[in-house]
Structure 1
Amino acid sequence: MEAKVLSEAKVYVGTYGKYNNGSLSGAWLDLSDYSDKEEFYEACRELHKDEEDAEYMFQDWENVPEGLIGESWISENFFSLRDAVEDLGDTEQEAFFVWCNYKSHDLSEEDADDLIKAFQDEYIGQYDDEETFATQIVAECYELPDFAETYFDYQRFARDLFMCDYWFDDGFVFRAA
């Protein structure tokens, strides 16, 4: 799952009727303009008011995670997830999607607030590699004299840390749960 900036999500909305008549007529709608699915569909109705009983066709979208949108539907969970991740910084949002992918979370079904809470419990931070994280752990938890640091094997210590207690993906470190 590629990281998405949900506050920048947008959808190109046409209709099946227009498409079947050879027209791609529609418009990009910025999902940040709508508080929920009903408000979004109201904008779709207004956009295509020239068509009676229009069947909306989402022909393209950006910054909407897989499983939250399809050609003819958008998940109610998109709006609650967008609101839940709003307080996360850009780096944390990216880490959130790495975490969701690694843990195989179903964004369309799971409660957004519960996902954010579980993510925050497990997220440690962004690091260049596992060894950089291990070096920080040693510096924070142990007071090694300078001569001992030259003998300390950070690479092996990192290997041991990431065998059971932590996991690393795409530059982010998480607590194993």
Structure 2
Amino acid sequence: MKNLENAPKIYVGTYGQYNSGSLFGKWFDLTEYSDLKEFLQDCFEFHRNELDPELMFQDWENIPDFFISECSLHKEAFAYFEATSEMDEETAEAFEIYCKQINYWPSNGCELENQIESFWESYQGFFGGSGKDAIVEYAYQYIEDTGLLSGVPQSLERYFDYEAFAKDLFLDGYSEHEGHIFTDC
């Protein structure tokens, strides 16, 4: 993980302890584990003082909600963390949005490699940094990249309604989430 400050962590207690009025547990840094099995073994080892500990994830940090609940962690989480550790922060944020709100991974059944590939096909970039409307900013970029107005006299070009074009563009074919633009595949 590049940034240890943003490392995925889980505070693991047990239901037995919790039902006895105790929040006894430990923070586990998931970057120290290669897979779910290794992580769970360490959790059970930590709670070995209980006969049959039922693990309870009482708190977590830097773990997308689609991977975790109070009693489970998705097995694909570790592969996801490894993949996003190789991305810059902005791209990792966009990938999380894509997985959570657009392509619904891992519940869509895709392999991580295919999910990453479809993300790169869909992701157009971040356009929310200037404080302007990301959709309109993308429309300007789209028009420039496609040459849509090339050859149009400048005296007519200034009458082009970028806001209306952006609205139409995003009615069918594109979506915006927190400044990140995606094509609808």
Whether these two folds match at TM > 0.5 is yes
Give TM-score scaled by structure 1 length: 0.84
Overall identity of the aligned pairs, in %: 37
Deviation at 1:139, TM superposition (A): 2.2
Q: Which has the higher contact order (CA 8 A, sep 6+)?
A: 1
Aligned CA distance change for structure 1 residues 109 and 156 (closer, same or farther; 3 Å): closer
Contact 1:80–1:112, Cα closer than 8 Å, also in 2: yes
Aligned residues: CA RMSD: 2.2
Separation (CA, whole Å) in 1 of partners of 2:142 and 2:103:
28
Per-residue CA deviation, residues 97-148 of structure 1 (Å, 9 max, x unaligned), is 2223332514356332222111111000111321111111222332355433
Match of 2:173 among 141, 152, 165: 165
Contact 2:66–2:100, Cα closer than 8 Å, also in 1: no
Match of 1:73 in 2: 72
Separation (CA, whole Å) in 2 of partners of 1:109 and 1:8:
25
Separation (CA, whole Å) in 2 of partners of 1:53 and 1:109:
33
Residue 141 (structure 2) pairs with residue 140 (structure 1):
no
Aligned CA distance change for structure 1 residues 108 and 30 (closer, same or farther; 3 Å): farther
Aligned CA distance change for structure 1 residues 150 and 109 (closer, same or farther; 3 Å): closer
Structure 1 segments, 4+ long, off by >4 Å, are: none
The 3-state SS of whatever aligns with 1:124 is: strand
Residue 104 (structure 2) pairs with residue 99 (structure 1):
no
Structure 1 unpaired stretches of 5+: none
Residue 41 (structure 2) pairs with residue 35 (structure 1):
no
Moved more, 134-143 or 120-129: 134-143
Contact 2:57–2:71, Cα closer than 8 Å, also in 1: yes
Give TM-score scaled by structure 2 length: 0.80
Structure 2 unpaired stretches of 5+: 129-133
Contact 1:77–1:109, Cα closer than 8 Å, also in 2: no
Separation (CA, whole Å) in 2 of partners of 1:156 and 1:71:
45
Contact 1:84–1:113, Cα closer than 8 Å, also in 2: no
Q: Which structure 2 residues correspond to residues 1-177 of structure 1 after superposition, within 5 A?
A: 8-103=7-102, 105-108=104-107, 110=109, 111-128=111-128, 129-142=134-147, 143=150, 144-177=152-185
Per-residue CA deviation, residues 64-117 of structure 1 (Å, 9 max, x unaligned), is 222322222221111122223222221112212222333251435633222211
Separation (CA, whole Å) in 2 of partners of 1:108 and 1:58:
21
